[in-house]
Structure 1
Amino acid sequence: MARPPMFQLATVTRIVKESVDARTFVLAPHDDPVSYRAGQFCTFRVPVDGTALFRSYSMSSAPETDAELMTTVKRVPGGKVSNWLLDNVTEGDEVEMSRAAAGRFCLRETDVPLVGYSGGSGITPILSLTKCALATTERRIRLLCADRDADSMIFEAVLTELAEQYPDRLEVVRHLDSDGGFLDATAIRDFVGADGHADHYLCGPEKFMEMVELALPGPGLVYSERFGAAAPVPDTSASTSPEPSGNTGAAESAGAAGNSASGEPAQGTVTIRLNRKKKSVPRKDGETLLESARRAGLTPPFSCEQGNCATCMAKVTEGSATLRQNDALTDDELDEGYVLTCQAVPDTESITVDYDQ
């Protein structure tokens, strides 16, 4: 059976100003309700200057507490998609979004405390997790939210209301860089206190998350939500794909996305079907299917290039491939032959991958 189209239209029914540079878009999908878990994200296809760009944004709603589907976007200097959305989309407009949510930044079944650390718009999926945990468990929740300044604080009213509703279970600590400088490892350990055994959830700029990860004393589990930087569509005259650049993700935070392949030519062929076109290129050792498709002169869909979203999803119809990373596809999808082409490296001499199925 053919897989349904990845994207559908959704009407923006409301826009909520969350801070000076962040907006929540309340969405009403046209075709199918989006089934999602707290902490997951959807991918959006946005036309900017005549080019379709793909970005993944976390849901700020939670299915257990919100009747409406909501995603929150923060403006980033130079961010093509975040700026386009905030500057152009108004209530009543339509956007294209994925039919299915993705991501594994979700709650596990446990009764240990939940401790969240957010930098800027990284609070978005952590708010979703907090809503879910408060509504469906008895877990104690503590959040450390770092923002640039008071005008940049996202979800201040929502989190204040939740803390008042659950005074014995929810603690929210706000840190403003403008007042106290950047958080450091000592501040993180002081905040953790006796909750080293908790489940720790991190989302924010890469340097912020690296600092928190290194500071955490353990032995609790650590969950980090990362959205890497997407590579530009290559020049079709180039023999290999270009170095990654650009911005993407929940906060559209910049960061390296995997290096382009420079593997040696190997025996075998990679065949790609995309938009009813079929192209083949010689297989290169270590090259992902996405890189092979670019080398073939095609412009396949992609977003995070880190295995976090399903934008580059395609089906292997002949041969097989190994995924370097997978934080998006379910076991059923893997069994059906679907792969994340940004992470899939062929392990057979020849392989055929179909983006149209």
Structure 2
Amino acid sequence: MARFHTLPVAAVDRLTDDSVALTFAVPPELREAYRYVPGQHLALRRVVDGVEVRRTYSICAPAPDPGDDGPRTLRVGVRLVDGGAFSTYALKEVNIGDELEVMTPAGRFTLDPAPGMYAAVVGGSGITPVLSIVSTLLAREPGARFCLIRSDRTAASTMFLEEVADLKDRYPERLQLVTVLSREEQQAGLPSGRLDEERLTGLLPALLKVDDVAGWFLCGPYGLVQGAERALRGLGVPRTRIHEEIFHVDSEGAPRSAAGAPAHSTVTARLDGRGGTWPVQDGESLLDAVLRNRPDAPYACKGGVCGTCRAFLVSGEVRMDRNFALEPEETEAGYVLACQSHPATEKVELDFDR
């Protein structure tokens, strides 16, 4: 089960005018609990005006070797969001020595390092988990190569510019780096403009042999990720080779399911070895129903993006408003996002421990 612990801030590094990297120190007794695989994220928690606020940020550092005793530090990238309760705090108020509540790592947008060719299409802060994936892969697997295609507004707004450049210098033969700026012309490289489905359909086969790529990692805003997926599927890439993580979803841009709920519903949930049954109030999600009785239920974003609240549907039926975190094989196996699930039968049973 995911757990929150209070960790001290060891470093605050300004990346751009609107982004920062926060590094947390991990004490020896918690290093195993915070062991992570490349691509995972952390949920940070604080209370604002009496209301608990949680936000999820991807780990951007290489993962510790399996034989190590766990990470000594955790580094995440935070980009400012207009009106963001947590991102504004991170950029303007957090200092070295401050203590924040940090959840243990979660997420399945990951890569177990193995030989082969891999590629990513990222936009903006979507570089954050991919930076961990690339740096870990190239360090551990001499037989691995990676093509990184990244889109940013301008050079000045590009997160982890130096870190990616250092990787390119360290692995010049194994890391192919392609940068596209949407609002600024470059002296060399590709013309400016957005990376949409049409452009990627022509660009990707020109950069590499699409069929040779063992895994594609798409991360960033909803429009970019969806366009990249459609381009790859149109080029014949199997769905099983495409991995996605959405960072930003416009409220109008993503579909929601619409169906009525039974008049009286209950949810039975097993969590950390203990179970209970509670009523589901009209219009609330299964996660909110569980949280009213079990505040330790896992969640981070409540937007169907991070996957922290994933649970196994033991019995009953649910409808999910959105799903940007679970792979098709996970939903087929019976997993749902509790934050987006509403009862479609009078009784629903979830297991958070599976």
TM-score grouping bracket, smaller chain normalisation: 0.7 to 0.9
CA positional deviation for 1:156: 1.1
Find the counterpart in structure 2 of residue 93 from structure 1.
98
Q: Report the counterpart of residue 209 of structure 2 in structure 1.
A: 195
Partner of 1:50: 50
The one-letter amino acid of 2:266's match is T
- Deviation at residue 44 of structure 1 after TM alignment: 1.2
Q: Give 1:8's aligned residue.
A: 5
Which residue is 1:225 aligned to? 245
**SS class of match (2:116):** coil
Tell me, yes or no, if structure 1 residue 143 matches structure 2 residue 141.
no
**Percentage of identical aligned residues:** 31
AA aligned opposite 1:181: G
Alpha-carbon distance between aligned partners in 1 of 2:175 and 2:30, rounded to the nearest angstrom = 34
Q: Deviations over 1:296-348 (max 9, x none)?
A: 9x9975524426332x47899xx7466866958xxxxxxxxx98532556688
1:167 & 1:50 partners in 2: Cα distance? 50
1:35-114 matches, cutoff 5 A: 35-64=35-64, 68-99=73-104, 101-108=105-112, 110-114=114-118
Total equivalences in the alignment: 317
Letter matched to residue 209 of structure 2? D
The alignment partner of 1:76 has SS state of coil
Q: Contact between 2:266 and 2:279, CA under 8 Å: does it hold in 1? A: yes
Distance 1:60 1:282 in 2: 38
Tell me the SS of whatever aligns to 1:265. Answer: coil
Instruction: Confirm or deny: 8 A CA contact 1:261 1:288 kept in the other structure.
Output: no
Q: Kindly tell me: are residues 97 and 282 of structure 1, through their superposed partners in 2, closer, same or farther at Cα, counting changes over 3 Å?
A: closer
Residue of structure 2 in register with 1:245 after alignment: none
* In 1, Cα distance between equivalents of 2:199 and 2:257: 38
Aligned match for 1:169, one of 165, 171, 174: 174
CA deviation vs aligned residue, 1:8-55 (integer Å, no higher than 9, x gap)? 111110011222211111111355121110001111112233321111
Residues 35/258 of structure 1: CA separation in 2 closer, same or farther (3 Å cut)? farther
In the alignment, which residue of structure 2 is the partner of 1:32? 30
Aligned-pair CA distance for 1:120: 0.5
- C-alpha deviation, 1:108, in angstroms: 4.4
Give the equivalent residue in structure 2 for 1:215.
Answer: 231
Cα distance change of structure 1 residues 151 and 140 upon mapping to structure 2, 3 Å threshold: same
Tell me, in whole angstroms, the C-alpha distance in 1 between the residues paired with 2:265 and 2:179: 56
Alpha-carbon distance between aligned partners in 2 of 1:306 and 1:204, rounded to the nearest angstrom = 15
Q: 1:354 deviation in Å? A: 10
TM-score (norm 2): 0.74
Change (3 A) 1:17 1:196: same
| Cα distance, 1:223–1:86 mapped onto 2, change above 3 Å | same
RMSD: 4.1
Which residues of structure 1 form unaligned runs of 5+? Answer: 230-252, 329-337
Provide closer, same or farther for how the CA distance between residues 254 and 46 of structure 1 changes in structure 2, counting only shifts above 3 A. farther
Give, in whole Å, the separation in 1 of the partners of 2:351 and 2:114: 40
Q: Which of residues 264, 279, 282 in structure 2 aligns to 1:281?
A: 279
Q: Which residue in 1 is equivalent to 2:124? A: 120
TM-score (norm 1): 0.73
Deviation sequence 1:139-175 (CA, Å, 0-9, x none): 1111111111111011111111111111110121221
Q: How big is the shift at 1:118?
A: 1.0
**C-alpha offsets along residues 222-281 of structure 1, whole Å, 9 cap, x if unaligned?**
11112466xxxxxxxxxxxxxxxxxxxxxxx7677775876243565346899xxx9943
The one of 204, 222, 225 equivalent to 1:206 is 222
Letter in 2 for 1:182: R
Structure 2 runs not aligned, ≥5 long: 66-70, 186-191, 327-334
